[in-house]
Structure 1
Amino acid sequence: MKGFLLMEGLLKLVGMKTLYRLGRAAGAVAWHLLPQRRNIVERNLRIVLDPALRGKELQKLSRENFKRTIANFLCSAKTATLTDEQLKHCVTVGGHEQFAAPVLEGRGQVCAIAHSGNWEALARIRAFYPEVERYGSMYRQFDNPLMEEYVYQRRTERGTQMFSKEGGIKAPMKMLKEGGALGVLSDQFVWEGVYVPFFGKVTGTTPLPALLRKRAGADMVAIAVRTDAPGHWIADMGNVVDFSRSDGSLAGDTIEVNRGLETLIRESVLDVFWMHHRWKSVDRFAPQDKKTAALLENMELKPYRILVAVPRALDEALATVPLIRALKTVRCDMQVNIVCPSAQLGIWKTVPEVTHVLPHDSLKQLREALAADEFYNDGPLDLGVMLDGDMETLKALEPYGPMMFSGLDTHPGARKYKFRVKAPVLRAAPPAHRVQLYLQLGGLHGLDVATPSLFPVKKAAPAEDALILIAPFSRLGSASEWSREQWRELVSLLPGRTVLAALEEDRERAASLAEHLNVELAVGAPEALFPVMDGAAAAVAVDGDFPSLCSFRGLPVVTLFSTRLPDVYRPMGTFNRSLYSHQCCSPCFRKECDRDVPCNRHIAVREVLEALREISGKE
């Protein structure tokens, strides 16, 4: 408190123009000393002005905003000490008639205020409108009781009634109904607000101005203060908010309030206090009623950008697809992007819920992909879902903050990068399918993860002569593979065409086995094998990537498990079957078996044929 009084005393000794110039100098220094605030300002400016802004141009704008913000802050503190005559020399008011008219006619006037310019001048509005007998302002109480008492007394002695937000809306509502004017700061992020667009991007917005207007039957103007010259400001008081386009809902009215503020802010974007995180991400996506969702669907919105870094193992990456679908469907402005190894590029390009795929095999490649115009120009990133366990991904994202991170609590960067949402990986718990871990993370975000449409759907019934696919090779090693003799016996009993499918790294082995079995061969990248899968009736595969690929394409598959538990690793979908011969040493997760016979060699060909008939309908 003593420090504040000392500062106020010093400010009285300095002229307003000089103070403004000193504030700009201090702002230039602060721009260098506060990199986190600088990132927030630059993020906000990209949303408001142009998402493609970057480099020196963006830095120039953020530096100017820092200068104006610090200058306006210091001048606002001095404004509280000015006499009415001194104040009128520093501030010019525009829109006098539009502001005063409703009050003079006995109606209330709600003032939606932007945090811009010398905002303290708006607490002294009675100096400009002596005919407005009652003017009040909503504010948040100071934590320091002495500071609270001092500021409250300073403002009320100048004729402004102060209403604490903690005190509810009964008293300010009464003043509005009696024909007073009430100011409400309306451009700050609000956790418990309505989620509607501000400058085209959905964010938490206070519904208080719209609510007060509706309940009190009052009029509304949007108000902002902008710098005209060093030490002089213009208060735009007459921007009447037009509610003719609103559907009458609280969300619809709040959208119109935001539009009114946007019009004023565009007059002087760099005068606005952009050091706060206006488009902040919240832990849980706010539930929306059908009316609000319908409003947003009919608007052109800037995307809420989610970056999902998927696991490097292909079968594990495919287990994240239900989470990705849930993220995409939570709100109409969601944009889901994928960071993945280069080998997965073709797969993720087939997922309709994914907008951009950023393939990489090194930190340098990822940085180049993030900086590419096609990706960068869509706007700032909002949420990073880190499922890859890779610190390099987080390092590459450092220049693109601030953004919220979430992921599994086992991620090595969870503490350093302050993951806001973390799904706990239980190390001593009954076996559960691995997709449940990702769905749990989605549930912590407030997503509906029980919707059947998130999961694989069996493809349409195949033709009578559809082939049977066999996938004998596994990245998990020889301990997870069947013997040549078992494959030969199975193929001899299969009806119709049989095609052996393998990934590129197994080409040589696959060619040898296909010749041994006298069957057709299909080898290539995963996406190159999709046409073969789409033309098949069913598949038989050893545990590894192929069962997950088959499930991803809706192809029924019989999976032969060996070193891993089917309860955890079976392919998703009720149209699949898993066979497992439990032995005393399993699950062992070994690549090579140290016993005479690997576990899955105990799975009989007869069992495979029965499971195949069950899922394919072929005799």
Structure 2
Amino acid sequence: KMATRIEAENLDFIHRELRAGRPVVLILSHLANWELFAHILPKYIGYVRNSTIYQRLGNRFIDEHVRRVRGRAGVEMFDRKEGFDKAIKLLRDGGAIGILSDQHAGDHGLWAPFFGRLASTSPLPALLAKRTRAALVGVAIYTDGRARWRIVISPALENNEESVGSLSAKTNQVIEQQIRRAPEDWFWVHNRWKTPRPNFLLARYKRGVYLPPDLSAQNLKPFRILIRSSNWLGDAVMSVPAVRAIKNGRRDTYITVAAPAKIASMWKLVSEVDAIIPLTGNSLVAAARSLRRQSSFDAAILFPNSLRVALESWLSGIPRRVGYRGHSRSWLLNQIIPEPRRPGPLEHQSSRYLHIAHDCGAETSNIEHRTPNIATASIHQRSTIDHSPIRIGLSPGAEYGPAKRWLPERFGEAAAAVTARSPVQWILLGKKNDARIGEQIATALGESCVNRIGQTTLEQLIDELRQCRLLLTNDTGTMHLAALLGVPTVAIFGSTEPRLTGPLGDRHIVLRHHVECSPCFLRKCPIDFRCMKAVSVQEVADAVMSILQQ
């Protein structure tokens, strides 16, 4: 009775393989009334054993019914959880096996393009074909009128020394062609492009990602990630290694960084960032509106721990929101990064950001603190060749508070000591709040100093640092910016801890005397400033000279 309502096209594509003694793996998809396959295919190819691999349904009564109906026509049923030995034996005996191959394959899948977007794809058809030298044949069923259907068979895929990845990608292409013929027949209710939890970055997946040779990552529909930057310049720089790990986590990633306008230009130095959203003003609603105006994001990674930042992404409607539990905001996140259960050795702040990237699936064990490809070498070489003074940056301020600032008179004395030993031009850098300190140092240094404090935008500060041979500094955002640019630093620490917030890279000298009350992390010293006073002018001058002589 069913056979009178079903027509089949190109059955010879299957008969040709089976009669040649070659087993067949049928690539099936959830099109139209796909359950008819189990009833009608044995009528067409009943001269060999017919089978299918299935996954048990959650409701045992429905599961028993489906298995009973499918098996009524002689289809053998193999449970995925019981392994594939029986399926392999059936194929080696010359049989045929049908596999529904158009659903999300979860963490065990291979990521391959499906309609131009990476999707977790079951490698099972390809694996069985490789193990048994079976032919891979696409079979689709379409609605062909009221209570009428048409089965269409595609030619067998070429399987000459193809990899599992290549065959899986071709399987997706076959299913794409099936769906394009009658998109209204496909089971669109299923989310074929699920965002994995927690590893939506794909670097550590066992089967990895496969792109056909004729398709580049730029041709894929991007997986859009919003990264909410830290609000402080130094913290933002320390998160750069994590941003690079996230970018390398999957080949289709498009990274947008949302950052306060005052530090947004720093992100232009990071080539892995594709777009930047400067956030102006203090309005939460305005920030959320700025994010909503962008193309829809697949995930948001929040580096700051504040409630405000979580509200921004929640109000923007971003489906996956990732971050530490933070301050009263766990209800706004749907992927919370676990905090270490036990206190351990001090970790650099950059490691805390890398934990976020790792929890999302990025590979973080091989992270290098590399610097942008900028033309600074020629400037340094020119200073040596034409004997012009060497430019050295000096950042005597610290926005966090006076507890982080070395004594201004000692900065002046150290700079003068260096100038006496080498032709140097000092460039004073900082914000308007540091103007009084800058004037004091500039007066002490005279003509060997150019005072740029309070006169530079962030872009101009970057340009100034690029021309410097090194930077003498407190623990500041400018210190971290110089490290990002590849400029060596001599950094003076007192109330803070260099193991937590020291400059990234190996071209820096950190000067710090550990006294009984440090690190206190206070903005103002309540006693006698002993941690900073312990750092002498001589050791600072010697540290600067050691870098100049390299």
Which residue in the other structure is 2:92 paired with?
A: 177
The aligned counterpart of 1:499 is: 427
2:125 to 181, 195, 209: 209
SS of residue paired to 1:468:
strand
Alignment-mate amino acid for residue 463 of structure 2? P
1:406 counterpart = 2:322 = yes
Amino acid aligned to 2:344: A
Q: Deviations over 1:245-266 (max 9, x none)?
A: x861110111111111111112
CA gap 1:295/1:513 in 2 versus in 1, 3 angstroms: farther
Structure 2 equivalent of residue 569 of structure 1: 501
Change (3 A) 1:433 1:241: same
1:319 corresponding residue in structure 2: 238
User: Is the alpha carbon distance of 1:432 and 1:219 closer, same or farther for their aligned partners in structure 2, counting shifts above 3 Å?
Assistant: closer
In structure 2, what is the equivalent of residue 599 of structure 1?
531
Structure-1 separation of matches of 2:102 and 2:211: 23
Pairwise CA RMSD? 3.2
Q: 1:313 to 1:202 in 2, by over 3 A?
A: same
What is the CA distance between 1:480 and its match in structure 2?
1.6
Q: Which amino acid aligns with 2:269?
A: T
Counterpart contact for 2:169–2:210, Cα < 8 Å: no
Map 1:34-433; keep pairs closer than 5 Å: 84-85=1-2, 88-89=4-5, 91-126=6-41, 129=44, 133-190=48-105, 191-228=107-144, 231-232=146-147, 234-243=149-158, 248-282=162-196, 283-284=198-199, 285-287=202-204, 295=212, 299=216, 300-361=219-280, 362-372=283-293, 375-376=294-295, 381-398=297-314, 403-410=319-326, 412-414=328-330, 416-419=332-335, 422-425=337-340, 428-433=343-348
Deviations 1:223-245 (A, max 9, x none): 3344455x54644431225337x
**What is the deviation of 1:547?**
1.1
Unaligned runs of 5+ in 2: none
Q: Deviations over 1:295-335 (max 9, x none)?
A: 57953333333322222122111111111112223443333
Aligned partner of 1:611 in structure 2 is 543
Counterpart in the other structure of 1:43 = none
Distance 1:417 1:226, change over 3 A: farther
Query: Percent of aligned pairs with the same residue?
Result: 25
1:586 to 518, 541, 544: 518
* Structure 1 residue 181: Cα displacement: 2.6
Query: 1:305 touches 1:334 (CA, 8 Å); kept in 2?
Result: yes
The one-letter code matched in structure 1 to 2:450 is E
Give the distance between the partners of 1:493 and 1:120, measured in 2 at CA.
86
> How many angstroms apart in 1 are the aligned matches of 2:461 and 2:117?
40
Contact 1:100/1:132, CA 8 A, preserved across alignment? no
CA distance in 2, matches of 1:242, 1:400: 44
Structure 2 CA distance for partners of 1:401 and 1:163, relative to 1, 3 Å: farther
| Higher share in helix | 1
> Secondary structure, in 3 states, of the residue corresponding to 1:354?
coil
- Whether the 8 Å CA contact 1:410–1:425 is kept in 2: the answer is no
Deviations 1:144-175 (A, max 9, x none): 44443333222211232222112222222333
Partner SS state of residue 304, structure 2: coil
- The aligned residue for residue 537 of structure 1 is 469
Residue 578 of structure 1 aligns to a residue whose secondary structure is: strand
Q: Secondary structure at the match of 1:502?
A: coil
Are the counterparts in 1 of residues 404 and 495 from structure 2 also a CA contact under 8 Å? yes
Q: Tell me how many residue pairs correspond in the alignment.
A: 524
Q: Which runs of 5 or more residues in structure 1 are unaligned?
A: 1-83
Which letter maps to 2:242?
L
Q: CA 1:210–1:613 in 2, change beyond 3 Å: closer, same or farther? A: same
Once residues 350 and 54 of structure 2 are traced to their aligned partners in structure 1, the CA distance between those partners, rounded to angstroms, is 47
Alignment of 1:444-459 (within 5 A): 444-451=359-366, 453-456=368-371
The offset of 1:127, in angstroms, is 7.2
**TM-score, normalised to structure 1's length?**
0.76
Structure 1 Cα separation of the partners of residues 149 and 298 of structure 2: 34
Structure 2 vs 1, CA of residues 498 and 427 (structure 1 numbering), >3 Å: closer, same or farther?
farther
Compared with structure 1, are the counterparts of its residues 427 and 220 closer, same or farther at alpha carbon in structure 2 (3 Å cutoff)? closer
Give distance in 2, aligned partners of 1:317 and 1:143: 47
